[in-house]
């Protein structure tokens, strides 16, 4: 008898692999019934990942969304599942034990059946609590292995990793190929090995179609004994998303597997509704790079969903690099040349970082550091002379043990900078916070919600929840959408053929940052000049200026610490820290401030020893590369 393969629709991931936002709760409820009516799905991914955060960013209550959106599938007997990030829960940074435990209990109550838990480093220790809390909350605990292709990440590595996950409490295993770079035959061997050792454990295959491998991998997975295959559907299949339902279904039927038939009338309804959501709103947040497959990503192994932000970062850095090259009488670069340099550098940098899986957030860390290395080398500086704080945290073990060995030169650099390696359980770094947030809500007069769901939301996404409660999030989203529509000529985000029209996600309609001061060289004598913009007060998009740190002077005494890259200036990297101030003594190599660029925090170190004479920019200001920020005398 032919084996039956179950299909899962990753409706959440379809959207979040393409753009920034999900449909509203009303839109999700509209599309749920025809998805059920399609009749071919045993599972639907409904929430998790960034789902709740982007609900808040749109001004919607994510708890209402999850309850209403999962209800039709619960009634139909279709299992719903969510994606969660282990130590990070459903956000990008680590979260406390008590918040993690409440999450699983709450999500089951709200209608989510399966927790697909992954750790960015494939660290079983970080997932043990996820498996425990999921089962205690009544959910099915699924352990997802992030697939990366490297000398460390072999077929044998993943088979043993599945053993470890199951020993820690995982009830199912997911082969999660988030970058689409898992080689098909290797994917098949992994699944075959896991099923031979654990024949009663359900195994799912989840592969993004970015490089073109995933459709072949789905067939290899089926032949190896996989139980569930995830897929997407038009108009958001392929590209950086997932192989299309119709293709997967027909391919597996032709190979002799048994699948539930597709109700094509219902399919066309889902397809039309999804396209409508794209046309009316969400297409304005879909980057064109995410709608195409890209085999160039096979070599570096970076996730395709990064391509939009990666190209935006490249564009900004290309302008900066070419400015420097022109100034130094050197040949400028094209974007393609810089892209290849970046991909080559990933091959050099990634092994030295201990081969962290190229999945969020560690793929961003590897990409950012590699790009920084490229820029530093072009400018005649040393590799690793600019390492952001997020990457340092990963290297020091604050996210768990790396799969490979950290390069000796990086270990030595950490010791020279007085950085300490962490070898205990990363969860211990984050104490419980629910009581703290409960007290905050009481002070504000906010209800903790049914089953403490509002308390959970506040503790998981503090800043976004406050903006949601104040109405600022909804206002900002509506203003941004209106501007994007105006910039597109007021028309639909789709062309006459119904295809998604790309709208760049970078920038968000904000004006380019303008410098607050400049150092002007006049016949060899330097003067610091303040710049005022008369139109700034009248510009409704301009942010309110922060309180001045000091009043910049025209003095040329001393040396200026300049920003190593373009971004947002901060005196500290956390609210509990105290920044430097005028009169403080600094030594050469001391960290004096920070710049946020490419979604990570980079330390700014002083090249001089002396006393802080002035700070020429404000905390939170946008600054350009080489902008003078601190004067040392």
Q: Is residue 580 part of a domain?
A: yes
**What is the number of structural domains in the chain?**
3
193: how many CB neighbours lie within 10 A of its CB? 18
State whether 213 and 146 are in the same domain: yes
Q: Is residue 503 part of a domain?
A: no
State whether 584 and 624 are in the same domain: yes
Select from 156, 228, 225 the least CA-distant residue to 186.
156
pTM greater than the 0.95 cutoff? no
469: how many CB neighbours lie within 10 A of its CB? 18
Contact, 150 vs 157, CB < 8 A? no
State whether 252 and 345 are in the same domain: no
Overall average pLDDT of the 566-577 stretch: 77
Select from 4, 499, 7, 3 the least CA-distant residue to 247.
7
Which residue range forms the structural domain that includes residue 216?
6-291
State whether 257 and 335 are in the same domain: no
Alpha-carbon Rg for the chain, nearest whole angstrom, is 25
Q: What is the DSSP string of 402-436?
A: -SSPPPHHHHHHHHHTT-----S-GGGGS---HHH
What three-state secondary structure class fits 286?
Answer: strand
pLDDT tens digits, 120-158: 999 999 999 999 999 999 999 999 999 999 999 999 999
Q: Is residue 97 part of a domain?
A: yes
Cα dihedral 484, 489, 491, 495 in deg (nearest 10): -100
State whether 192 and 283 are in the same domain: yes
* Distance from chain centroid for Cα 157: 25
Structure tokens at 20: 């920034």
State whether 544 and 406 are in the same domain: no
Q: CATH number for the domain including 554?
A: 2.40.50.100
Q: Is residue 445 part of a domain?
A: no
Asked if the peptide bond before residue 247 counts as cis, ω within 30 degrees of 0, the response is no
Contact, 476 vs 466, CB < 8 A? no
Asked if the peptide bond before residue 404 counts as cis, ω within 30 degrees of 0, the response is no
State whether 308 and 258 are in the same domain: no
Q: Is residue 454 part of a domain?
A: no
Contact, 49 vs 12, CB < 8 A? yes
Select from 214, 127, 202 the least CA-distant residue to 167.
127
Q: CATH number for the domain including 46?
A: 3.20.20.70
Of 375, 406, 429, which residue constitutes the final position of a domain? 429
State whether 287 and 351 are in the same domain: no
Of 369, 400, 429, which residue constitutes the final position of a domain? 429
Query: How far apart (Å, rounded) are the C-alpha atoms in residues 404 and 418?
Result: 23
Phi, psi of 544 (to 5 degrees): -65, 135
Query: How far apart (Å, rounded) are the C-alpha atoms in residues 514 and 622?
Result: 8
Q: Is residue 307 part of a domain?
A: yes
pLDDT tens digits, 605-627: 888 889 999 898 888 888 877 78
pLDDT tens digits, 394-424: 999 999 999 999 999 999 999 998 999 999 9
* Distance from chain centroid for Cα 54: 12
State whether 45 and 102 are in the same domain: yes
pLDDT tens digits, 226-274: 999 999 999 999 999 999 999 999 999 999 999 999 999 999 999 999 9
State whether 244 and 357 are in the same domain: no
Of 234, 267, 291, which residue constitutes the final position of a domain? 291
Residue 316 pLDDT grade (very low, low, confident, very high; cuts 50, 70, 90): confident
State whether 214 and 264 are in the same domain: yes
State whether 201 and 256 are in the same domain: yes
pLDDT tens digits, 183-212: 999 999 999 999 999 999 999 999 999 999
pLDDT tens digits, 441-474: 999 999 999 999 999 999 999 999 999 999 999 9
pLDDT at 62 > cutoff 60:
yes
Structure tokens at 143: 């352990």
Query: How far apart (Å, rounded) are the C-alpha atoms in residues 135 and 71?
Result: 21
Q: Is residue 446 part of a domain?
A: no
Contact, 175 vs 146, CB < 8 A? no
Q: Is residue 334 part of a domain?
A: yes
């Amino acid at each position: 008898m032919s084996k039956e393969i179950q299909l899962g629709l990753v409706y959440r991931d379809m959207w979040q692999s393409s753009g920034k936002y999900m449909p509203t709760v009303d839109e999700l409820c509209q599309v749920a019934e025809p998805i059920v009516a399609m009749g071919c799905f045993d599972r639907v991914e409904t929430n998790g990942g960034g789902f709740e955060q982007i609900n808040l960013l749109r001004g919607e209550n994510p708890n209402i969304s999850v309850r209403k959106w999962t209800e039709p599938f619960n009634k139909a007997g279709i299992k719903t599942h969510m994606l969660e990030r282990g130590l990070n829960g459903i956000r990008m940074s680590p979260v406390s034990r008590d918040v993690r435990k409440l999450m699983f209990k709450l999500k089951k109550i709200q209608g989510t059946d399966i927790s697909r838990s992954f750790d960015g480093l494939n660290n079983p220790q970080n997932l043990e609590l996820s498996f425990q809390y999921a089962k205690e909350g009544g959910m099915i605990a699924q352990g997802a292995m992030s697939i990366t292709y490297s000398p460390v990440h072999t077929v044998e590595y993943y088979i043993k990793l599945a053993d470890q996950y199951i020993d820690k409490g995982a009830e199912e295993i997911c082969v999660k190929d988030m970058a689409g770079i898992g080689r098909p035959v290797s994917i098949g061997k992994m699944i075959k090995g896991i099923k031979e050792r654990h024949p009663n454990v359900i195994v799912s295959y989840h592969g993004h179609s970015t490089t073109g491998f995933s459709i072949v991998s789905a067939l290899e997975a089926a032949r190896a004994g996989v139980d569930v295959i995830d897929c997407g559907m038009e108009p958001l299949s392929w590209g950086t998303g997932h192989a299309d339902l119709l293709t997967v279904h027909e391919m597996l039927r032709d190979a002799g597997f048994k699948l539930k038939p597709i109700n094509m009338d219902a399919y066309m309804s889902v397809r039309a509704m999804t396209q409508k959501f794209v046309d009316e709103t969400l297409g304005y947040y879909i980057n064109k790079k995410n709608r195409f497959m890209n085999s160039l990503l096979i070599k570096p192994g970076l996730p395709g969903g990064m391509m939009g932000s990666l190209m935006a970062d490249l564009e900004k850095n290309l302008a900066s690099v070419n400015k420097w090259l022109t100034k130094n009488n050197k040949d400028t670069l094209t974007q393609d040349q810089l892209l290849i340099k970046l991909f080559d550098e990933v091959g050099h940098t990634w092994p030295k970082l201990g081969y962290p899986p190229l999945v969020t957030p560690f793929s961003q860390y590897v990409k950012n550091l590699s790009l920084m290395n490229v820029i530093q080398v072009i400018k005649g500086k040393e590799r690793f002379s600019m390492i952001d704080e997020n990457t340092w945290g990963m290297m020091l073990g604050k996210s768990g043990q790396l799969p490979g060995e950290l390069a000796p030169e990086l270990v030595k650099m950490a010791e020279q900078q007085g950085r300490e390696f962490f070898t205990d359980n990363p969860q211990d770094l984050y104490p419980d916070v629910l009581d703290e947030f409960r007290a905050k809500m009481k002070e504000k007069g906010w209800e903790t919600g049914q089953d403490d769901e509002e308390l959970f939301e506040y503790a998981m996404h503090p800043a976004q929840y406050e903006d949601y409660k104040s109405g600022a999030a909804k206002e900002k989203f509506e203003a941004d959408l209106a501007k994007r529509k105006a910039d597109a000529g007021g028309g639909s985000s789709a062309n006459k053929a119904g295809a998604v029209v790309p709208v760049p996600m970078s920038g968000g309609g904000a004006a380019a940052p303008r410098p607050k001061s400049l150092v002007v060289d006049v016949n060899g004598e330097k003067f610091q000049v303040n710049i005022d913009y008369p139109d700034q007060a009248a510009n409704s998009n301009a942010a309110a200026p922060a309180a001045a740190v000091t009043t910049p002077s025209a003095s040329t005494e001393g040396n200026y610490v300049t920003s190593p890259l373009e971004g947002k200036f901060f005196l500290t990297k956390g609210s509990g820290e105290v920044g430097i101030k005028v009169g403080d003594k600094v030594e050469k190599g001391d960290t004096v401030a920070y710049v946020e660029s490419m979604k990570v925090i980079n330390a700014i170190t002083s090249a001089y020893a002396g006393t802080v004479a002035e700070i020429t920019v404000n905390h939170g200001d946008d600054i350009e590369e080489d902008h003078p920020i601190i004067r040392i005398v």
